[in-house]
Structure 1
Amino acid sequence: MKFEYPRLVHSAHLFLCLSSVCGIILLATAQAPAGPRPGPGCQAKCGDVDIPFPFGIGKECALDGFHLMCNDSKPFKGDFEVVNFNVPDGKIRVKTAISSQCYNTTTNVMHYSDASSIFTDSVFWVSEKENKIIVIGCNTLAYMISSSYVIGCVSTCADKTPESLTCSGAGCCQADVPKDIREYRALFNTDYNTTTYSGCAYMALMEEAALNFDPSFVTSGSTKFSDKNNGKVPVVLNWKIQNITCDVATKNTSTYACVSSNSACLNSTNEPGYLCKCLDGYRGNPYITDGCQDIDECHDENADRCRFGLCENTPGNYTCSCYPGNYLMGGVCVPAASSFPEKTIAGTTVGLVIFVIAVACACLIRERRKLQNMKQNYFRQHGGLILFEEMKSKQGVTFKIFTEEELQQATNRFSEQQVLGQGGHGTVYKGLLKSDVEVAVKRCTTIDEQQKKEFGREMLILSQINHKNVVKLLGCCLEVQIPMLVYEFVPNGTLFDLIHGNHGGHISFDTRLAIAHESADALAYLHSSASTPIIHGDVKSSNILLDSDHGAKVSDFGASILAPTDKSQFVTIVQGTCGYLDPEYMQTCLLTDKSDVYSFGVVLLELLTGKKPFNFNPDAPEHEKSLSMMFMCAMKENKLEEVLDDQIKNEGNMEFLEEIAELAKQCLDICGENRPSMKEVVEKLDRVRKVMQHPWAQQNPEETESLLGERSNMASSTGISAESFSIEIKTIMGMQSGR
């Protein structure tokens, strides 16, 4: 039985494949003028679809970046058919291709069709709220690969046809779409998907509301999912006007897009960029002159504006009045005094006021009870009771359970000005507690049902991590739908910013080596010294924070898991950061401590080369797009010096650099079993640091020789090769000879 398919090799998880299989690139100039306005000669419809400005058929009828083509009575943006437009919310719906793998039982060949979509340098990006990553099939593992993320899931059939109509893992699985995705490609795991399932499996990034899963989609030989959708599915895209904020846009009236009176500018969630909206009480198109029209609330069939009275429409609002002889009282028109005796009027008035107050109080009490019950339910769902009992039984636990109100006050109601950073697992805010302690508050984006059940227990385990190079978890908030975490605040940014930021400063090899050693020490502690072994799951330079002395602190345990006790355990959602993701993890769905070792090897490469894990320059050669691939090629061809950072390779320490490069090579081994443990990595880095810092080498050569002899014996007794001490011997002998 023969399979024909593209192999998922060492760099398959990297995004370099996107440059060779490209969809249409939607171009938009960031600072270009806002562009023309629709004229009398512009086409208002394409087939049955209305074309609202800022979109238009042809460049002369649209804002820059929003021009469309009308082919066969259908509007297209590049190669994508536009289904409809939502101008008020800044969204469009387009059709994109479905990726598939189909097994031919006659030829015993697996056929693949991988779809990709690219919106680089444009005003469009994939909406993370309306869309999902969908995988349909039996025993199928597939990923969405973007410039920043690799995320996918496993769909299984358990040897039988799924019966559920929901996409919940049996025959169909789904994963959340990360924020700000401008390009993606769907890939199937060719090593995992080895079942000779005589049908087709599919993967698509599509609008969640458009998926109507049917178990017949995974029937043997079925192509119903593709046939039903004619090979394409809808995807919701967000858009923005230019790549500038409202503050900048409003200062240039010649390019400002919000031309309608009664309109306002609104900063895009994907900054920089902005949208236009009609003011409250108006609706229409804010991008055209007089496009925002007053809403006649008095004739709005969705609301009973003035009960028992007269409604008068006003610009942007409305007023209520009563018929002659009646009075407006408590929102209701009542007869005038002449119609009733004075006592009746007074009694009615008092009774009505008491009734209104009673109803308001009852509603307020009900809502408060409802909110309190909801918070209590969330607290129980997240294991709060278990966590609370465990905290009482353990002495010296400083972990705190915060209320939602406490964290809102600490972060100024989660103000955008307090945002420290955003990632695939949530947003981090800077906060100040009432005790004047600075903290970092993380609002997570998603949590699955299994994590909910184990959350309390895992928080208690994480709270007991006590290592100077691990960011301390101070507490959590469990009374919200998705728990929030509270960490110590680390003030000096990330290692990624230090290496790749526009600081212009020199980073010595000593500093880089110290950061690498401290980070490795933290990971080794998590793997082997914590009360329960912990796998980080998302090791990267942006998750290594730096204090004021450039001391390293490993952070962001959003992807962490407790080390599995059963080797058969695997995850159904594969996630991580492109460039750092262990290829073995992608193929087996089993996250291990050696996955962290691989990711740490990429961090070592960043420290050695000063380069990012990806080179997105489309003109760069294929082998230079992936840092790990470029490094491995350089090592194989004995051209290490060509990829090293100039700042450190001129310090006359090539022996040390070669030693660290060899360690990185071992960490990046394609087979996890061949990689060293983090404890072995720490020992290696510690030896190199100590050799570099020996103050006695010049003063006492005899003692140096004696110590080297002891170390050689120690190396032999512990199984460490003599070659691992070569760098020490060369350095010390160099000191003795006056070099």
Structure 2
Amino acid sequence: MTITPSSQSHNSHRLPIFLVLLLHLASSSSRSLILEAAAAAEEEDEQRSITLPGCPERCGDTPIPFPFGTKPGCFREGFQVTCNDSFTPHRAFLAYTGVNQHIAEIYYKVGWHYPVWRIDHDNTALELIDISVTKGEARAYGLVSSLCNAANLSGDYVAKCQNLALGERGPFILSVTRNLLVGVGWRVEPKIMSYLWSAYRNSTYEFSLACLSDLMGMPKLLQLATNGSCSSRGCCQAALPEAAPLTDFGTWFSIDENPMWQTNPCSYAMVVESEWYSFSTPDLYGVEVLPRRYPRGVPFVLDFSIRNGACPGKGQKPPRDYACVSGNSYCANASGGAAHGYVCRCLEHYDGNPYIANGCQDIDECRLRKLNPELYPCSTDGICKNRLGGYDCPCKPGMKGDGIKGTCTDKFPLAARVIVGGICGIFSIAAISFLILLRKEKQKTREFYQKNGGLTLEKAKFIKLFKKEDLKPILKSSNLIGKGGFGEVYKGFLDNEEVAVKKPISGTMLENEQFANEVIIQSRVIHKNIIRLIGCCLEVDTPMLVYEFLSNGSLYDILHSKKKVSLTLGVRLSIVVESADGLVYMHSKTNTKIIHGDVKPANILLDDKFAPKISDFGISRLIARDKKHTGSIIGDMSYMDPVYVQTGLLTDKSDVYSFGVVILELISGKKATHSDGSSLVNNFLETGKKKNKATELFDKEIAVAGDLDILDSLAGLAVECLNLDVDQRPSMTEVLERLLIINQSHKS
């Protein structure tokens, strides 16, 4: 008795394909070479676009090449894909109206001529596995039909039969060359029942395809069926016919009484991708084995095509909606014949997506011949050279002929070859030695990079990591602009920006996370009066820092160099006010409180308009991880807080003390030198104790009668900053407020 569908049942890899085929054909010894080239091809494919600009290229793990797409404007009619984000990873489903599948569940009583009852379950969308525009194919999951003995063990059966609808005028048909009908069971005859459109008779007709698996009466010595074999003993298969395109069909069963239902209760039918399913004898035992093993279904292959058009004739202008838009592409009739539309292909020696502009790209035959030398021959005496639309294989130097045909022969005598061979041997030794040295140098560079915290700084957003080759043109003696205890400073250009490169003395910089944290802290400090850290170079023993370059050098150079620049009181007030603003930002307006620790005129740089920027966060490196007590005293003793020197406790009031010395140096024009009883600081403190005017200590260039009160106010503020009682010193915020008042008074 045959179960047939009712009329209701019809209402319802990322790798290029040539690499996949070669992988199947290759021997085990060449698999690693194939996978290596495949990985390179995959990396190259990732750089190519497979769809229209602005359209998603993937749904979960499934690439979505045009003409398929998930958003409006991203697909041609009939190729819409729904990306279901309720799964992890997301899954892709065909959204074209009429493309669906469902299970018809039928209870059949043996000996009766019609079903007892039937339930048609809801239609479900086809889930995509992958899409190949190169082959014009899409792989999808198809449900497994089953025929099982009823739960009451009476000999009655429940058939769960798959119905698949692809739509009569849709872009999809079942591939007859890439799929098989497979049946699994003790005695089973699966069938394909299909209503097909006949272009010749302009009507529909029913088609049936079947195979038979029969183990009844087999001698026990034959051991029933064989794993991996599908030869009608436990497993049968049938090729699909090429008579007409398959669009709407179902997988069904012919039922014969099976006396083995107690141990073999179920049989199965499925349309599945050729060579995908491997039969195993345990599949004959148990209930719903295959549907449970493959809950999403088994893979099968659909051919797709552009239905609303045909290939233009020779010399004809393509229609407006012509799909083959890529250069180096051509049009071909679809696998179902001209009536089923056309597909686009890349020309020979090109690969990619012919449905998008510039989608077909040249194939590198020289790389692919490593996978299969027979596919792209080039003799061992030839040199493979790729070119657009093909490749060449000229003979090696010293030979003549054609490498593709394998006709390369020597054109030099033996003696000449011996001499050339000797020279080449010497050259090879030299080259190998050079490569060894180069490899050691690269290894050393990697070690420096990791030691200096490169892995941490890679994650920082506001810092550039320069290679040492980038800085090499700058680190010339002609570009040296400064030298001191920290190291050397060079001036140059990077990315069309003038920069200052600090090359520290070896061993002076912290290592690994401490240095990385210091750089990250500096890169996050963004203020108009604080020097901007652009980036750093970690590929050297002691990392180098790259800052913005300021044309007027340091305040120390302006006040004390041989080419001393005359500064008015207004300019000096502007410098001290803006410098104080930068320190206030560091102390109280950053996520991590930053104490400079070495405030002095040499660390206050000036741009071409004499606007100051604070540089060289020397001590902040030591407290980058919330350390408040330093292991050693670092800084210029002429500007250093005596309390810090005595206790080793560095606070924001330490910067206040140093800033007080800077104010004195600005209003006096004299250097702040550290010596017993004769320093600039002591002179002002003594004058303050005697409550005398400090007129004699002021710079003669600015000590004019009208500005003496301003200078006295500045001197008084500086003396307060120098108070040995830390608690009596003003904060930098208070210093800034008073400086703004003094500056406003001067302007008035």
TM-score bracket, shorter-length normalisation = 0.3 to 0.5
Scaled by the length of structure 2, the TM-score of the pair is 0.43
Q: Which structure is richer in relative contact order (CA contacts within 8 A, separation 6 or more)?
A: 1
Scaled by the length of structure 1, the TM-score of the pair is 0.43
Looking at CA atoms only, which structure, 1 or 2, has the larger radius of gyration? 2
